[in-house]
Amino acid sequence: MLLCAVAAFALMFADTRLPFMDDVRAQLSTVVAPVQWAVSLPSEGLSWAALVFSDQRALVEENQRLRQQLLTLSHRVQRMANLTAENVRLRELLNAAPRDEVPYITADLLSLDSDPFTQQMVIGRGRRDGVYVGQPVMDASGLVGQVIAVSAYTSRVLMVSDANNAVPVQVNRSGQRFIVQGTGEVDTLSVLNVPATADIRQGDLLTTSGLGGRFPEGYPVAEVTRVDRDDQHSFANVEARPLAQLERSRHFLLLFPPTAAVAASSDINIGAALRVANGRVAETPVELEGARP
């Protein structure tokens, strides 16, 4: 121990007095470095292990939290997309029928008829809402059809594409009047009894003529897609495409007689305002135009 103390004092004196001791100290540090590294391994290993396990647990917890947040946000995004699309459709519906001209209520689609030979659907409005047989039904694009049966809370609608449905129309460009009948196909209507000399052409817009008192005048029904004229026949073969989105629409307008608007306020109370109209309809039952109920 005395020898070590004497050696330590000698090295300290040489380190302070002799310049070459800097190089000696550097060389000795290089030699001793592996020993220092080996001595520090246990403590560093413990610190590293504690850090690794601590970070892994935190990462697992954060990952679970982010997954839950992602699921919640994904659900909100899906719901928001659905609400945005529904809002657009409802705004289109409001623009489809001017509020100050024809009173109406909105309705949602409940189901479609599974019979391939009929074009009918069920909507979520009924007798309690003032719905009556023969009432016109529209979507944001055009005429969908008319009500053929009413219960307390639901109604059945015969679409314009059904073969048993017929609608009086007029050519928007020329004013000539015809009858449009369904063909049983959702994208095709037939324009009946069109003279070969009639002023009708492909691309013409067909709107309700108002004749018969069933459908208000001026609402879009179909667009002419084909006009075949043959010199050997007196009548032309004319087909049209319904403007209503029969396969896609889920929101509809049910139009009421304009006389019901007298009792209507800014928010129409259809149940009370249309008793007069419903009484008139009940007194004079109507047959479906061109239809077999």
Express each pLDDT in 14-39 by its tens digit: 777 777 776 776 666 566 667 766 76
Q: Among 6-20, 221-235, 278-292, which range has the highest average pLDDT?
A: 221-235
Give the helix ranges, DSSP H, for the chain: 2-17, 21-96, 270-273, 275-283
Task: Using CB atoms within 10 Å of the CB of residue 260, give its burial: 0 to 12 exposed, 13 to 18 middle, 19+ buried.
Answer: buried
Average pLDDT, stretch 51-64? 73
> Which residues on adjacent β-strands are paired with residue 123?
109, 155
pLDDT the model gives residue 166? 93
The tokens of 289 are what? Answer: 């135009």
Continuous segment of H or E residues that includes residue 257: none
Q: For position 272, what pLDDT does the model report?
A: 42
Among 2.60.40.3470, 2.40.10.340, 3.90.110.10, 3.20.20.70, what is the CATH number of 103-293? Answer: 2.40.10.340
Look at residue 149 in the predicted model and tell me its pLDDT. Answer: 92
